[in-house]
Structures are given as structure tokens and as C-alpha cells.
Amino acid sequence: MTPGKKRLNYSYYPGCSLHASGREYDISTRALFKALNVGLKEVPDWFCCGATPAHNVDELLSLSLCAKNLSLAEQVEGDLAVACAACFSRLKTTQHHLKEDEEKRKQVETAIAGPAALDKPVKHILEILAREFGLSKLEESVKKPLLGLKVASYYGCLLTRPPEVPELDDCEDPSIMEDILRALGAEPVKWSHRMECCGANFTLSRPGVVLKLSNAILESARLAGADCIMVACPLCHGNLDIRQKEIKDAYGAPDSTLFGNIFGSELQQGAPKDQRDLPVFYITQLAALAMGVPSGNLGFESVITDPKPLLREKQLL
Amino acid sequence: MSRIGVFVCHCGENISRTVDVEQVARAAGKISGVAYACDYKYMCSDPGQNLLKKAVSEHKLDGVVVAACSPRMHEKTFRKAASAAGLNPYLCDMANIREHCSWVHEDKKLATSKASDIVKLMVERVKKGKSLAPITVPVTKRALVIGGGIAGIQAALDIADAGHQVVLVEREPSIGGHMAQLSETFPTLDCSQCIMTPKMVDVANHPNITLHTFSEVEKVEGYIGNFQVTLKHKARSVNESKCTGCGICMTKCPKKKIPNEFDQGHGLRTAIYVPFPQAVPNTPVIDRENCTMFQSGKCGVCAKVCGPGAVDYQQEDRFSVEAVGAVVVATGFKLYSIDRKPEDSPIQGYGEFGYGAIPDVIDGMTFERLASASGPTGGKILRPSDGKEPKQVVFIQCVGSRAREKGISYCSKVCCMYTAKHTMLYHHKVHDGQAYVFFMDARTPGKGYDEFWRRAVEEEEAVYIRGMVSRLYQKGEKIVVMGSDIQVGVQVEIEADLVVLATAVQAQDGADQLAQKLGISYDKYNFYSEAHAKLKPVECATAGIYLAGACQGPKDIPDTVSQASAAAAKVMTLFSKDQLERDPVVAKVNEKYCVGCLACKKVCPYGAVEEKEIRDRQGNLVKVVAYVNPGVCGGCGTCQATCPSKSVELDGYTDEQIMAMIESL
């Protein structure tokens, strides 16, 4: 901290995943912010934002859920920090929609019996780390640089799209994750599937779709020489981490096409398929590790694809 | 007492449908000073004009108001008729009861009363009007052509062949422009250089053409018939009069690995270079940023090997002033940068297409160079990354064009045709290769154009896929193109060896600055605006300046050449007279009352206001006043409205006239 400068303080909306399947994201986020001496105070009595299913069922419901959470967040000082990409997207989308649609805003405000807190700044932790805390300060705070760790940073669908809503980075060619990785001393790889969808909430209803899409992402990361993948979304983490074995079973054979090729062009055949396991890290896990947080406090034990062998190999454990 | 005549036109039914023209004529007859009023079905027709002429002499009219359409349409017609009847044409005016009344209203009663009011206004204005005489200005019969591409070359040759002197300015070291870069041209597939290079030689050898390459327009002053243009001749570091073009300097230059701009960065050149072997003039230029001599002071090889001693490291930028009567602007276009969003640009990039990051994603002009016999591969289609022959090539159309969300809404017009050409060139050179084209729709209007496109699709086996590409990514040696086929309704993925993007045509860099120097208008994309899309397509709103080619908007070669010849014809028309007649509706300054604040100078959009010194007989400065150059004044009246001391008045629109109009209501 620069002397005399006010300490950064945020209100914090973890979202359901971070209290359940993505606990390690929550744990590591709190650990990281503590290590950086950035305040994080959980919004009292928050509840589910509706995530990806609610807006498919009832728009008013999904907007009202977020609006209510935003008004709860008003009780805590500081901009609202959100770690889950889906929560972030829904909260920002709600603000965006309600600002543009007066009538809907009135409906929502009736439903939640109060104002919708449209001006509460909602920030994804990527923004907080790269822009508000700052890359150079982040770099200075590193105690254990992630040297030699080749990371494929995975943005997924929601962090940058649609561009007018999250306003996080260039929607087609973002760089915020790579910038953070470089500050942490890691080596971001250039790869093709940074922005492809992993299948997200089809994970229960259409697992076949998820396997296909996630396979393409993993394969592309391996092709680019990545040791691991970094995500900022518990849905992406779920699909890429938990399903690696299933994917291997389904797509283990030498490559065929993904979508099929209607013109029958010759594809590269015969190359043995790379089946390495790719640990999937949350941004906060890697960052906290670099800040010297003990690895036992980062939830590494609760993921499926064990990251420890890789971290040991890179002498980060 | 005035004797004004009012002629109310029905304009067929255009006016009479909503305005009771007879009533308007009756009401006009009752205005004080109106000696005659009538209505007629078509005032602009021959009988209508005769009616006006007859009335002027029979009723001894001293002013005429024609209540009809916009003065833009027929003011000239009626002023000519009035003049034929012996009246000063500037005492004939029009009351616009069509565009300003019948076309924009529905209630006949209200429209009729409004039409009567408009007529009343114009009668009052004409009553206070004065006879005006056209202003004559001399014409310098020498033309400036800015831009040495096919447009500038064609215009320069046409004007020069008509016997007039032409100054041709090109900012690059050689003329030729984009056309010289092309391989073959649609729809005939004839070699671009074979058409272009002889014309370039003609320009260089023409006795009436003075060619200034590596030069730019620095400043433009004056007005139609009398422009003074300052040219900046950038230091070439080679004395043009001494150089014989032997080229030994280029072969000996130790800096050999500079990307060649003419080959879109894919070929290499030396630090002292001509852009391409057929360059005109064949005089090299030193690229000071890349020259060891200029960077470190240690080299000087080219000067040592130059027999005639033409290399001159001390050369500096030089300026010259050219007096010309007309200017043809032919500055052409540039291709859209498809990389990430350029700084300070409203245009979004296409990061998802990987241009700049994936070496085998190239733009259309690069493909032209690959296909060109004089290009970096000698005309073999080889991909940039590893020099292999691509067996699957994907062409993507409308990259940047017609993409409002990315910032360009217009169609770039030439890409459908040149992509069809590219697929053919590719098929002719790589027989076992396959070309795919992602397109939105094929726009091929033009003589022989649709036939050409059909040939690409039906005979030359290009596979056209209607749909756009979402993104490209590198997969090993291949580039995976992910797109959709909206006709079949499936997602398509093609593993390509080479991807060619048909990127948007944009206005040339610095087009806006040049427009400001010239005082011509341009649109939000920096393309120059013509005076009227249909009736004055090659003229600018600023008199004496004409447009040719893609500086006005995307154009192909036939359109460009046609327009260049049209611009040349306009210049020749201008040069056919020794004196130019100009509209006398110009501002005049009352020097007695002018305090010289020059507020008018700041607001004049034509740059017509100058400072004038008033001196007594001993030559002592008495005061500075504003002076409106009648040759430049556009008659807009902004100065008149601005002047705090009411010392500027526009002839035909004096304060007295305007006040009379207002008071009449």
C-alpha cells in the first residue's frame, strides 16, 4: 500500500457456487484479498442471483433476484466485488436492462419493494486486481513468482460478452487474464479457444454437448503447450475439471472432427492424441499462491484433476 | 412605386393538389406594388416562360416573383426568361410553395394561406431588390491533379491532351497507385500492369504534364480560376536531374531486409529504393528511417557507387507555389486495418480473425501481390508462413464493410468482384486447390460483372457459402475457419491453409486534412462529398475543385476512369472561357463602418474574408477592415448575421430586404 492512500474495501457477493461446488474459489478469493490487504465484506443475507437458468424461465424473476441482491449490497460500503462470472454477468445485465427500460424498472422495484440500486458499481475480481489494485502493485506484491508455469487463460462466454454489459475488456480479443498472469510471473500461452463456450449450464441437461465443447477447449490448450488452465468462473471450472476423465473416454481416440466437415476436407490424422491431465485453477488460487499464501489454504484438495504434481514439478509447492 | 409580377405555378398537381393556386394569385394581385398576377399549370414549360416574358413587357414589370418549386430547381430558368424580357435577372425571384408548402402539408386551407404568405415575403424582397451584374474573374488555364493513381493519371492525361498544362502531385515516390499493385483486373482478367505502366510512362513524357512525386499539397489559397497551391517536395536524398536510374545504388545498399510496402510488407527492399521495378519516375528515394547513413552516419555506399553523383544526403524538403485554375482531387483509398481497434478510431477491429497474429491470414491486396507476376513470389500462390502452396483457401467477404456494429455501414463495392477474381486466379494457378468463399450476398452490378461472378461459381469451382465467419484459429499448420452456412442451416468448419480477408475500402489517410486545406466537404467516413449525387457527381460544393475516383467513395477501375475523364471534361469546360462569370450574390463590406473586428473572418466557411488595410494619402495606416473576396464568397450570409456593427451585407439579401419580408407578415 502506498502510504497515505486509502485502503481498498469491497462488498462481496460470493454467489451459490462459491459456497458449494466452487468452494475453493471462495476460499482462495478471501485468502488472496487478505494477502493483498484489500478489504472484503460479504453482503448480508444475499441469495441466489438466478444464474443462467432463471432468465430463460422468467425475465422479471431473474431481474428481481439480482435487483434485490444489489439493494442488499447497498448496505455494505465499497464497490461490489463478484468472483463468479455468471453472477457478475447477471448483476451487470440487470443494471443495464433496468437503466434502459423504465417500465421494467418500475415492475422490478414493485416486486422487491424498494429501489434497485442501479448505480452500485459491480466489479469482477479480474478488474479489481488488474485495474484497481493495479498490475504493477500486483507484481510488486508477488512473493513466489509462478516461474515456468505455462497457463492457458480461459475467458469463457460471460466475462466479456455481450460487450456493452460487462465492459471488462475487448470482447473478441481480451488480454486482462494474460496481463495478470504475467504480473504473477507465469507464462500465458497463446491459444485459440480462450473465448469458446464450455457448454456452461448444459452440464446436467445435455452432457454430450458439454463433453464435445470442453474437449475442444482442453485439446486446444494442450496443443498450445499449456500445463494448466486458469478460469474465473465456477461453471467453466466444473466442466473443464470434473469432466476430464469422461472426455478422455469419449474423445480419447485420434482426432475426428468437432462439428463435422460438410465439405470433407482432409483433416490431420494419425498424430497420437495428447491425453495429459490439465489442472484447472481459479485465478485467485494462482494469484494467492504467488502471494505466498500456504497451498493448504487454497482448496487444492477439493478439485478432481489434482494440481499438486504439476505444482511440485514447477517447485511451487 | 414598384410594378411586380407574380406567377403562381400548379406544377401539374404537385402544388395545386394542396394549394388553391388561383386564390394565391388573387391574393397576390392585391399586394401593394403588384401590377400583375396569374396562375399557370407548368410555369417552367415553354408557354409558361413565354407568359412571363409577355407580361414583363405588356405590364412594364420591374420585378418578378415565380411561386413554384425550389430555386435549386428552376431559378436559373426563370431568371433567363426574365433577362430575355429585358429585366435584370436578379430582380426575378422564386417563392418556394412546393417543397416548403404543398409537399409538406395536407390541409388545403392552411397550405393556401401559407403559400400566400410566402409569396408576400418574396414580393417584399423583390421590391427592395437591386439590379446586380455577374462578377467576372480571370481563369488560369492550368490544372492541379492531386494523386497519381489511375484516377489522377487519367484526369491529367485528358486535360493535358486537350492542350492545357497540368501539375500532377503524388505523395509516394512513384505514380501508379493501387492499380499498379493489382495482378489482373476484373471482368476481363487482363494484366493490370500492362494497362497501367504505359499510362504512367505517358504521364512522365507528356509535354503538358509536370510530375511531382514524393510531394504533398501543403497549402491552398485562392478561388476558382485562381488558386495558389503550395507544394512540399519531400527530400528524396537523390538528385532527380542527375540520376540515370541505373539502379546500382540499390544493388549495393547493405540494408536489404526492409519490408516492401508495395508488396504489402511481404517482399523486401533496400533502404535506397524504387517502390517497384516499373516505377515512374525511375528515381530511387532514401528511406531515412531505415538508412544506416541517416541513422548512424556510417555507410555512404550508395553515394560512393553512384556514377553521376546523384545521391545527396544533405537534401532538404523544398517548397514551390503553383498557380492553377482548377483542382482535381484523386487521392484514392486505403484498405481497412483489420487488426485490433486502432487508436482513436470509431472503427472496431476484427481481433477474432487473427490478422496480424496468424501469418497465413492475409488481406485481399496481399493476395493480389502473391498472384502478381511482379510480386514477392513471382506470381506463385505461396502462403507467407512457410512458402507452401495452399490447397484450401478460404476467402471471407465483407470484413469491415456493411458492418454497422463495427463502425462502417457502407458496401465497399469492389470486393465481391475481386474475390471472384481471386478464386479464379487461384484455380488457374493451383489446379488441385479448392477455394471457399464466405459471403453475405454477391453484389455484382456492372457490364459483364455478374457473368464474371457466375463463371467463378459455376465454372471455376469456387464454393460459395452464404454466411459469416465467427472466428479463426491456428491448429498446427492449418487455420480452422468457423462459420455458418445459413442456407443449409449448419455450422461449418474448414481447415484452411490460407485465409484471405476482403477488407473494407476506406478513405485515404489524411483525407480530412487535405479536405480542410482545399475547403471541400467530406462525410463521416472522410470520403469527399460531391455537390449533388446525381446532377453534380464530380464537382465539389467549392467551385473549381473536382473529384475523381475512390476518394469520393469505393469505386472500381472502370468507374474511376469514367469519373476521372468527367472531371477532366469539367476542367476543360472551365478553361474554355477567358473570364468566369460568377453569381453576384456575394457579401460586401461597408468599409466606413467596419471596425475590423474580423468576426466575419472567423465564421466564413469559404475563407473568403481577408484583412484589408486602409491607408491615407501619406501611406499611414488608418485602420484594418474586412474585405470579402467576391471570387471566393459563397453567398451564405453567415458574415452578415455575425457582424456586430451591421457593416456586411449580402447582395440580394440586404438587411433592408430581410426586414421588409418580416414586416410584411
Does residue A164 sit in the same domain as residue A287? Answer: yes
Using CA coordinates, name the residue in chain B closest to A222: B475
Distance from CA of B477 to the nearest CA of A (A): 9
In a shared domain, residues B410 and B501: yes
A4 found inside a domain: no
Which three cell numbers mark B96? 418556394
The answer to whether residues B107 and B148 touch, using CB atoms and an 8 Å cutoff, is no
CATH code assigned at B282: 3.30.70
Q: Does a structural domain hold residue B298?
A: yes
Backbone angles phi, psi at B248, to 5 degrees: -65, -30
Alpha helices in A20-129 (DSSP H): 23-35, 51-57, 59-73, 85-100, 102-112, 125-127
User: In angstroms, what separates the C-alpha of A172 from chain B's closest C-alpha?
Assistant: 5
What is the CB-side half-sphere exposure of residue B436 using CA atoms within 13 A? 29
Return the C-alpha cell found at B167: 501539375
3-state SS, one letter per residue, for B246-274: CCHHHHHCCCCCEEEHHHCCCEEECCEEC
* Residue B296, SS3 per DSSP: helix
Among chain A residues, the shortest Cα distance to B357 is held by A190
Of A193, A220, A265, the CB nearest to B495: A265
| Contact call for residues A244 and A208 (beta carbons, < 8 A) | no
Are B476 and A223 inside 8 Å of each other by CB? yes
Per-residue model confidence (pLDDT) at position A273: 66
Tens-digit pLDDT profile for residues A70-109: 999 999 999 999 999 999 999 999 999 999 999 999 999 9
Counting one residue from chain A and one from chain B, the pairs whose CB atoms sit within 8 A come to: 53
The grid coordinates of residue A118 equal 442501479
Closest residue in B to A262 (Cα–Cα): B492
Q: Does the pLDDT at position A267 exceed 70?
A: no
DSSP 8-state secondary structure symbol assigned to residue A241: I
* Residues in chain B within 8 Å Cβ distance of A258: 493
Domain termination residue (choose one: A103, A123, A143):
A123
Q: What is the pLDDT of residues B156-194, one digit of tens each?
A: 999 999 999 999 999 999 999 999 999 999 999 999 999
Q: Does residue A128 belong to any structural domain of this protein?
A: no
Q: Which of B434, B475, B495 sits opposite A192 (nearest CB)?
A: B475
Contacts of A193 in chain B (CB under 8 A): 473
Sign of CA dihedral B413, B419, B424, B425: positive
Q: What CA–CA distance (Å, rounded) separates B302 from B275?
A: 17
Search chain A and give the residue with CA nearest B355: A173
Taking the CA atoms of B147, B148, B154 and B158 in sequence, report the sign of the dihedral they define.
positive
Could you tell me if B394 and B496 are in contact, meaning their C-beta atoms sit under 8 angstroms apart?
Answer: yes
A30 and A67 share one domain? yes
Closest Cβ opposite residue A258 in set B349, B490, B493:
B493
CATH number at residue B658: 3.30.70.20
Helix (H, G, I), strand (E, B) or coil at B5: strand
Residue A265 pLDDT greater than 60, yes or no: no
Q: Would you say residue B621 has pLDDT above 60?
A: yes
| Residues B458, B399 within the same domain | yes
DSSP H or E segment with residue A209: helix A207-223
The 10s digit of each residue's pLDDT in B360-376 is: 999 999 999 999 999 99
- CB < 8 Å to A173, chain B: 340, 349, 351-352
CB contact under 8 A, A220 and B473: yes
Q: What is the pLDDT of residues A30-74, one digit of tens each?
A: 999 999 999 999 999 999 998 878 888 899 999 999 999 999 999
The residue out of A123, A155, A170 marking a domain boundary is A123
pLDDT at position B594 is 94
- Is B365 part of any domain? yes
B352: nearest CB among A173, A223, A258: A173
Inter-chain contact A192–B474, Cβ cutoff 8 Å? yes
Q: Do B294 and B442 share a domain, yes or no?
A: no
pLDDT at A5: 63
Q: How many domains does chain A have?
A: 2
CATH number at residue B120: 3.40.50
d(CA B616, CA B249): 63
Q: What is the pLDDT of residue B581?
A: 86
CA B289 from centroid of its chain's CA atoms = 32
User: Which pLDDT belongs to residue A163?
Assistant: 86
At B342, is the pLDDT very low, low, confident or very high (cuts 50, 70, 90)? low
| Residues of chain A contacting residue B476, judged by C-beta atoms under 8 Å apart | 223, 268
Please say which residue of B542, B577, B612 terminates a domain.
B577
- Say whether both A207 and A113 belong to one domain: no
pLDDT per residue over A132-161, tens digit each?
999 999 999 999 999 999 999 999 988 998
Cβ within 8 Å of residue B10, ≥6 positions away: B16, B21, B39, B40, B41, B42
My answer on whether B190 and B326 are in the same domain is: yes
Residue A170 C-alpha, separation from nearest chain B C-alpha, in angstroms: 9
> Closest Cα of chain B to A198: distance in Å?
16
Q: Which residues of B touch A223 (CB under 8 A)?
A: 475-476
Q: Are residues B463 and B538 in the same domain?
A: no
Residue B534 shares a structural domain with residue B402 = no
Inter-chain CB proximity A173 and B434 less than 8 Å? no
What CA–CA distance (Å, rounded) separates A143 from A290? Answer: 6
Residues B388 and B473 in one domain: yes
Name chain A contacts of B474, Cβ cutoff 8 Å: 192
Nearest-CA distance B476 → chain A (Å): 8
Please indicate, yes or no, if residue A238 is contained in any of the structural domains. Answer: yes
Question: pLDDT averaged over chain B?
Answer: 94
Instruction: Report if residue B602 sits inside a domain.
Output: yes
Mutate to test the interface with A, among B345, B463, B493, B498 (most CBs of A within 10 A): B493
Residue A249, pLDDT score: 87
Using CA atoms of B205, B211, B213, B218 in order, give the dihedral in degrees to the nearest 10. Answer: 180
Residues A172 and A308 in one domain: yes
List the beta bridge partners of residue B507.
B333
B302, part of any domain: yes
Task: Determine, yes or no, domain membership for A129.
Answer: no
Q: Amino acid letter at A292?
A: G
Asked if residue A256 has pLDDT above 80, the reply is: no
Q: Report the sign of the C-alpha dihedral through residues B365, B369, B371, B372, in that order.
A: positive
The answer to whether the CB atoms of A263 and B488 lie below 8 A apart is no
Nearest to B340 among A170, A195, A220 (CB): A170
Q: If you average pLDDT over residues B506-517, what whole number do you get?
A: 95
- Look at B478 and A268 and tell me if their CB atoms are within 8 Å: yes
A145 and A94 inside one domain: no
The residue of chain A nearest to residue B477, with distances taken between CA atoms, is: A268
Confidence of residue B412 (pLDDT cuts 50, 70, 90): very high
Total domain count for chain B? 5
- What CATH number has the domain bearing residue A299? 3.40.50.11810
| pLDDT confidence of residue B72 | 82
A172 pLDDT above the threshold of 90: no
Q: Is the separation of the CB atoms in B252 and B352 below 8 Å?
A: no
Across the interface, whether the CB atoms of B341 and A170 are under 8 A apart is answered yes
**The three cell numbers locating residue B188:** 476481363
Tell me whether residues B475 and A220 touch, CB distance under 8 A: yes
> Would you state the pLDDT for residue B57?
94
Task: Tell me the whole-structure pTM to 2 decimals.
Answer: 0.79
Contact at CB, B494 and A261, closer than 8 angstroms: yes
Neighboring chain B residues of A175 at a CB cutoff of 8 Å = none
A260 contacts on B by Cβ (under 8 Å)? 493
Nearest CA to CA, how far is A65 from chain B (Å)?
Answer: 31
Identity of the residue in B340, B476, B480 whose CB atom sits nearest the CB atom of A173: B340
Same domain, A204 and A93: no
* Domain identity same for A110 and A158: no
* B286 and B432 assigned to the same domain: no
Residue A220 pLDDT > 60: yes
Distance, in Å, from the CA atom of B247 to the CA atom of B212, rounded to the nearest integer, reads: 20
> Are residues B270 and B178 part of one domain?
no
- Please indicate, yes or no, whether residues A198 and A264 belong to a single structural domain of this protein: yes
In a domain, B378, yes or no: yes
Distance between CA atoms of B60 and B68, rounded to whole angstroms?
A: 22
Which residue segment(s) compose the domain that A71 sits in? 9-123
B534 confidence band (pLDDT: 50, 70, 90): confident
Mind telling me how many Å the CA of B470 is from chain A's nearest CA? 10
Residue ranges making up the domain that contains B127: 4-134
Give me the helix-helix angle, B71-84 and B46-58, nearest 10°: 50
User: Which of B486, B506, B526 delimits the end of a domain?
Assistant: B506
Return the pLDDT at A268.
42
| Average confidence (pLDDT) over B526-538 | 92
pLDDT digit string, tens, across residues A185-201: 999 999 989 988 898 87
The answer to the question of residue A273 being in a domain is yes
Q: How big is chain A, counted in residues? A: 317
% of residues, chain B, pLDDT over 70: 99
Residue B582 belongs to a domain? no
Domain assignment of residue B288, yes or no: yes
Contacts for A298 with CB less than 8 Å, ≥ 6 apart: A24, A27, A28, A31, A285, A288, A289
- B154 and B50 share one domain: no
pLDDT, position A266 = 40
- Return the pLDDT at A253: 53
What is the tens place of the pLDDT at every residue in B86-144? 999 999 999 999 999 999 999 999 999 999 999 999 999 999 999 999 888 899 999 99
Can you give the pLDDT at residue A82? 96
Question: Does residue A46 sit in the same domain as residue A105?
Answer: yes
Shared-domain flag, residues A189 and A165? yes
Domain end marker among A123, A149, A172: A123
Span B238-269, pLDDT tens digits: 999 999 999 999 999 999 999 999 999 888 99
First to last CA, chain B: 20
Instruction: Identify the CATH number of the domain in which residue B176 sits.
Output: 3.50.50.60
Measured between beta carbons, the chain B residues lying within 8 angstroms of A172 are 349-352, 471
**CA nearest A208: which of A238, A234, A239?**
A239
Contact A173 B349 (CB under 8 A): yes
Look up cell 472496431; give the residue.
Answer: B348
Q: What does the DSSP 8-state code read for residue B1?
A: -
Strands B478-485 and B469-475, how do they pair? antiparallel
Decide if B414 contacts B384 (C-beta within 8 A). no
Cβ distance of A268 and B476 shorter than 8 Å: yes
* Average pLDDT value for chain A: 89
Same domain for B307 and B396? no
**Average confidence (pLDDT) over B489-503:** 95
pLDDT of residue A150: 96
Same domain, A106 and A238: no
At B158, which helix (H) or strand (E)?
A: helix B150-161
User: What are the pLDDT digits (tens) for B22-46?
Assistant: 999 999 999 999 999 999 999 999 9
Predicted confidence band of residue A260 (pLDDT cuts 50, 70, 90)? very low
Chosen for mutation from B495, B497, B498 (greatest number of chain A CBs closer than 10 Å) is B495
Q: Verify that A87 and A147 share a domain, yes or no.
A: no
Q: Which of B476, B490, B495 sits opposite A262 (nearest CB)?
A: B490
Same domain for B150 and B94: no
